[in-house]
Structure 1
Amino acid sequence: MQTRASEQTIEGGLVDPVMELQAGFRAIMGAMAQPGTVHRSDTSAKPPLPLTPLAALAALTLCDYDTTLWLDADLDTQVVRAWLGFHCGTSIVDDKALADFVLTGDAMQLSDLAAFAPGEQEFPDRSATLIVQVPSLSGGQHLRLNGPGIRTFSTASPKGLPENFVAQWEGNNARFPLGVDLILCGPEGFLSIPRTTRINLLEV
């Protein structure tokens, strides 16, 4: 069993790390610059379940030896911890309030965005970025987004977010310039919602 666990820890990394991490970074930055739009990036990552390839790519792209990462209950397994530690070197912490990045396998567990690091008045960039796995970037609540990076408004309907997500996000907006940023990872790609984005629920 130790041999199998060790093999799973090492295997499943990026075939071409330089090119894939550059492409992943461009896709994530594009998603951050254009909230509500889907940006695709192919990856060869084969992480241990239930971590998905695109969420793994986001973690490998953003996390390194100088960052801290918190995992939710779905992803906090010995194998996932070891795989992330081996491939990106990030330090995994048990206190969500101390994490630079948050990786969650179940968006429904985002019941309190205020529990994550909001940054500091002098250093608002020290807030947490949440990497959130969702089953799809469509088919959920219909959201209207506006704010920086959006010409008039954009719409998105990521599946799997909590029912009270819009209310939670209003609270996140209210803390600006503090607050968290979201990177949603679905099979289609990345969709970002920065703290500067305002969200309303659309009636369909």
Structure 2
Amino acid sequence: MTEMQYPSGVIEAAHSFRTIMDAVARPGRILPFTAVPPAPWPLWTTTASVARTLCDFQTPVWLSPELCTEPVTHYIRFHTGAPIVSTPEDASFIFLQADDSMSDLSRFAQGTHEYPDRSATLVIQTASLRNEGHVELSGPGIPQPLIFHAEGMSSGFWDAMARNHAQFPLGVDVIFVSPDAIAAIPRSTAIRLQETV
């Protein structure tokens, strides 16, 4: 199989970078995100585009067991040069599949008070993203409280995200990727679970 690169190289990478940065600057906003390069299953093309845009030889990557296949690890090493590490606390970028049991964010690098940027960014594949549900976001980049939903994420995860915000400037940042969209929730974003009937 021939290794594929972006057909339009710099233009395609620049478009992906702008979209990702826009998502980070506007937390909870769901932005269309299309990707050209093919990717080995179970890595979506949109997730692969995030990896190719943000990862390099200086950013260790950890893959959840669902994503840690030989074709995926080869793909990431070949296209980004990023080392694949065996322990999540050693990674700069964490690639995960949405999972109801994901409620412990402390196992990922949190940064230090001297170097808060030495924290992890979680890239989570989710089947769908919607601005509805019972999770309310507020904070920098959000002019008014915003409702957010990522398929497969439990209340336990959102409780963990609220604790993550409470330790700002430490903590992890999160990028959600669906098959055709992207949204980000940095650690500066406050999380509140609305009451459900």
Residue correspondence of structure 1 range 126-137 to structure 2 within 5 A: 126-137=118-129
**Counterpart-to-counterpart distance in 2, 1:18 and 1:154:** 33
Contact 1:140 1:160 in 2 (8 A): no
Which residue identity lines up with residue 72 of structure 1 in the other structure? S
Shift of 1:109: 5.2
- What stretches of structure 1 of length at least 5 have no aligned partner? 1-6
Out of 164, 182, 187, which is 1:190 matched to? 182
Question: Which structure is higher in helix share?
Answer: 1
**Counterpart-to-counterpart distance in 1, 2:48 and 2:102:** 19
Which residue identity lines up with residue 39 of structure 1 in the other structure? L
Provide closer, same or farther for how the CA distance between residues 133 and 58 of structure 1 changes in structure 2, counting only shifts above 3 A: same
TM-score between the two structures when normalised by the length of structure 2: 0.93
Q: Does 1:147 align with 2:139?
A: yes
Contact 1:13 1:46 in 2 (8 A): no
Question: Which structure is higher in strand share?
Answer: 2
Provide closer, same or farther for how the CA distance between residues 46 and 108 of structure 1 changes in structure 2, counting only shifts above 3 A: farther
Fraction of identical pairs, as percent: 38
Provide closer, same or farther for how the CA distance between residues 196 and 153 of structure 1 changes in structure 2, counting only shifts above 3 A: same
> What SS does structure 2 have at the residue aligned with 1:142?
strand
**What corresponds to 1:29 in structure 2?**
21
Shift of 1:106: 3.3
**Counterpart-to-counterpart distance in 2, 1:95 and 1:11:** 28
Which residue identity lines up with residue 93 of structure 2 in the other structure? F
Residue correspondence of structure 1 range 167-182 to structure 2 within 5 A: 167-182=159-174
Aligned residues: 196
Out of 48, 51, 58, which is 1:66 matched to? 58
Which residue identity lines up with residue 118 of structure 2 in the other structure? R
Which residue identity lines up with residue 134 of structure 1 in the other structure? T
TM-score between the two structures when normalised by the length of structure 1: 0.90
